[in-house]
């Protein structure tokens, strides 16, 4: 039962949130989500969205739209976001140990372009905290966990961090996203080198087989790629994913490209740009990935999805699933129902 007029968000809630610094507004959103994830509130905050089932990676989704990683980093508001109508929710990115991330300020609104720049740096409360949260969820939709490495872990030892996270979340999640493309963690994107990606993914695939046998449950592995890769790098990384039988590719993470917003306030802040300015670039990369992998690996499309038209663009370019984040910031929960009911 939905008693909240979410369509009023851009007129009533957003102006108030935008009086605060972006990260403070994000914190308020998660605090509200934690509260609304509990009864009796949870019964009144949901949205009825259309049932548009899809099967991807052997998993059954009520609809193709999901919440991208980065909003609920610690899995604290899963039930609230689930009640809003998402077919899947991706939490994280999580690391083995808690870490503070980069110095503040580290999140900036590009209001005139409906974009966001962030350089959060994998700030999170650690994988053990996340596991306790996801174990207690009542959300019945598909849950993904995005995993990464601690900033203090040398890049040559990155696989150890990914394995720690993978082993701990495996029994409690439906898929695992391997984040190698966040531009805000030192050296992380160097994992998007063919040799380095093989060195990372081979042990993860081997561990996946071990854990699948141990828990009698196959949890798919998704690799999340950058929109800033060269054509040759993209081709070689897709080949790695094909050769290692990765279960899906996520296209794309945020971009360091500022061409679309170069003359707007905060545009020169370093970090990853998301939202509508990323739309065309991420869709081009998605389409290129689809040409390479054809129908052998499903694709999750994200980056600039802000409504029905941009959602359809991703699906037509080859995505089986789509995700949003920045659209929630600018439009509120009504965008979920609008996309799901009309794509």
pLDDT digits (tens, 9 = 90+) for 309-328: 999 999 999 999 999 999 99
Is 1 within the bounds of a domain?
Answer: no
Q: What mean pLDDT do residues 6-16 have?
A: 93
What is the rounded CA–CA span in Å between residue 26 and residue 136? Answer: 22
Number of domains present in the structure of the chain: 1
Q: Is the pLDDT of residue 208 over 80?
A: yes
CA within 13 Å, CB half, 324: 30
User: Any idea what the CATH number is for the domain that residue 97 is in?
Assistant: 3.20.20.70
Q: Vertex 302, ends 60 and 33: CA angle to 5°?
A: 75
State the pLDDT at residue 2: 67
Phi, psi of 254 (to 5 degrees): -75, 165
Parent domain of 278: 6-342
| Pairing mode of beta strands 107-110, 115-118 | antiparallel
Distances (CA, A) of 298 to 54, 55, 187, 278: 12, 10, 27, 21
Alpha helices in the chain (DSSP H): 9-17, 22-36, 78-83, 127-135, 158-169, 194-215, 231-243, 279-293, 308-317, 326-331, 334-342
Is 218 within the bounds of a domain?
Answer: yes
CA within 13 Å, CB half, 152: 6
Q: Return the H-helix or E-strand segment holding 136.
A: none
How many Å from the N-terminal Cα to the C-terminal Cα in the chain?
23
Q: Is the pLDDT of residue 3 over 80?
A: no
State the pLDDT at residue 115: 97
Q: Are 90 and 145 in contact (CB under 8 A)?
A: yes
Q: Are 213 and 264 in contact (CB under 8 A)?
A: no
State the pLDDT at residue 1: 57
If pLDDT is split at 50, 70 and 90, which confidence band does 129 have?
Answer: very high
Which of residues 182 and 106 earns the better pLDDT score? 106
Q: In DSSP terms, which residues pair with 143 in a beta bridge?
A: 89
pLDDT digits (tens, 9 = 90+) for 244-256: 999 999 999 999 9
State the pLDDT at residue 185: 80
pLDDT digits (tens, 9 = 90+) for 282-310: 999 999 999 999 999 999 999 999 999 99
Is 48 within the bounds of a domain?
Answer: yes
pLDDT digits (tens, 9 = 90+) for 222-246: 999 999 999 999 999 999 999 999 9
Q: Vertex 185, ends 179 and 190: CA angle to 5°?
A: 70
Phi, psi of 118 (to 5 degrees): -135, 150
Report the chain's mean pLDDT, rounded to a whole number. 95
Q: What mean pLDDT do residues 214-223 have?
A: 98
What is the rounded CA–CA span in Å between residue 324 and residue 165? Answer: 24
Q: In DSSP terms, which residues pair with 99 in a beta bridge?
A: 124
If pLDDT is split at 50, 70 and 90, which confidence band does 189 have?
Answer: confident
Distances (CA, A) of 58 to 66, 179, 208: 16, 21, 15
**SS3 category, 54:** strand
Rg (CA), the chain: 18
Q: In DSSP terms, which residues pair with 221 in a beta bridge?
A: 176
If pLDDT is split at 50, 70 and 90, which confidence band does 62 have?
Answer: very high
Distances (CA, A) of 63 to 120, 139, 141, 326, 342: 30, 14, 10, 19, 11
Note the pTM of the prediction, 2 decimals.
0.96
Q: Is the pLDDT of residue 25 over 70?
A: yes
**SS3 category, 250:** strand
What is the rounded CA–CA span in Å between residue 87 and residue 54? Answer: 9
Q: What residue ranges in the chain does DSSP mark as E strands?
A: 54-56, 59-61, 65-67, 88-94, 107-110, 115-118, 142-147, 175-179, 221-225, 248-251, 272-275, 299-301, 321-324
Q: Which residue has the tokens 């040799």?
A: 195
Two structure tokens written together for 286: 């998605």
Q: Is the pLDDT of residue 191 over 90?
A: no
What is the rounded CA–CA span in Å between residue 265 and residue 274? Answer: 15
Q: What mean pLDDT do residues 73-87 have?
A: 97
């Amino acid at each position: 039962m939905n008693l909240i007029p979410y369509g009023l968000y851009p007129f009533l809630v957003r102006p108030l949130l935008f009086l605060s610094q972006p990260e403070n507004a994000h914190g308020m959103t998660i605090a509200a989500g934690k509260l609304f994830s509990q009864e009796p509130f949870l019964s009144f905050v949901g949205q009825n969205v259309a049932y548009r089932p899809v099967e991807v990676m052997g998993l059954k989704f009520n609809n193709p739209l999901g919440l991208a990683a980065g909003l609920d980093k610690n899995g604290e508001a899963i039930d609230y976001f689930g009640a809003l109508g998402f077919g899947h929710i991706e939490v994280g990115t999580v690391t083995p140990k808690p870490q503070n991330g980069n110095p503040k300020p580290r999140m900036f609104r590009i209001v005139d372009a409906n974009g966001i720049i962030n350089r959060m740096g994998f700030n999170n409360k650690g994988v053990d905290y996340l596991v306790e949260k996801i174990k207690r969820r009542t959300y019945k939709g598909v849950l993904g966990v995005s995993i990464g490495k601690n900033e203090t872990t040398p890049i040559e030892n990155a696989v150890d961090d990914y394995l720690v996270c993978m082993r701990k979340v495996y029994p409690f999640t439906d898929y695992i996203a391997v984040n190698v493309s966040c531009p805000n963690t030192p050296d992380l994107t160097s994992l998007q080198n063919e040799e380095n990606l093989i060195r990372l993914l081979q042990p993860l695939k081997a561990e996946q087989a071990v854990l699948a046998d141990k828990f009698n449950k196959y949890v798919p592995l998704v690799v999340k790629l950058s929109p800033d890769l060269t054509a040759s790098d993209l081709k070689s990384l897709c080949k790695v994913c094909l050769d290692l039988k990765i279960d899906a590719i996520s296209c794309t993470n945020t971009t360091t490209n500022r061409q679309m917003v170069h003359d707007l306030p905060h545009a020169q802040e370093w970090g990853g740009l998301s939202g509508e300015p990323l739309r065309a670039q991420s869709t081009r990369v998605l389409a290129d990935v689809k040409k390479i992998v054809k129908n052998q690996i499903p694709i999750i499309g994200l980056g600039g999805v802000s409504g029905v038209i941009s959602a359809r663009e991703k699906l037509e370019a080859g995505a089986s699933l789509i995700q949003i984040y920045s659209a929630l910031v600018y439009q509120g929960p009504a965008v979920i129902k609008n996309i799901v009911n009309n794509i």
